[in-house]
Amino acid sequence: MPTNYPKIKEKKITLDAKGIPLGRLASTAAVLVRGKSNANFRPHLKPKVTVVIKNIQDIKITEKKLNNNVHYRFSRYPGGLKSIKWRDSFNKNPQVFFKNTVRKMLPANKLRKDLLKMIKFE
């Protein structure tokens, strides 16, 4: 197995979220953060890519989704199921809301925590 992989340069990619649907932006960010858009993609290596997202508060989410969809958390104790509507979650902190959406699109492995740290907001 070759040990001399090509040197990967650091890249900073800026996305403007104004008027873009949530799922489309989240899937684009997940692909970029994972490094799948690079020619030298390796699934076990962390790419040197930083995705900067501007105007996250102006992202396009339909009213029906904001009112009807719910995020759930479970504390693993009896009666520990907590729920919060998308509207309340988005109004509280749009950055955390977006990161949770991208988190569900990334593979559940040891790299996921590091990949989420590569998403920045302006």
Distance CA 81, CA 46 (A): 34
| pTM for the predicted model, two decimal places | 0.88
Instruction: Return the half-sphere exposure (C-beta side, CA atoms, 13 A cut-off) of residue 8.
Output: 18
What is the domain class of 11-60+93-121 according to CATH?
Answer: alpha beta
Q: Quick check: 47 and 12 in contact, CB under 8 A?
A: no
51-93 pLDDT per residue, tens: 999 999 999 999 999 999 999 999 999 999 999 999 999 999 9
CA distances from 11 to 14, 30, 48, 63, 89 (A): 10, 15, 6, 35, 31
Closest CA to 29 of 9, 8, 71, 21: 21
Q: Give, as one character, the DSSP assignment of residue 5.
A: P
Residue for token digits 């959406």? 101
12 pLDDT above the threshold of 60: yes
All structural domains of the chain with their residue ranges: 11-60+93-121
* Structure confidence at residue 13 as a pLDDT band (50, 70, 90): very high
11-32 mean pLDDT:
96
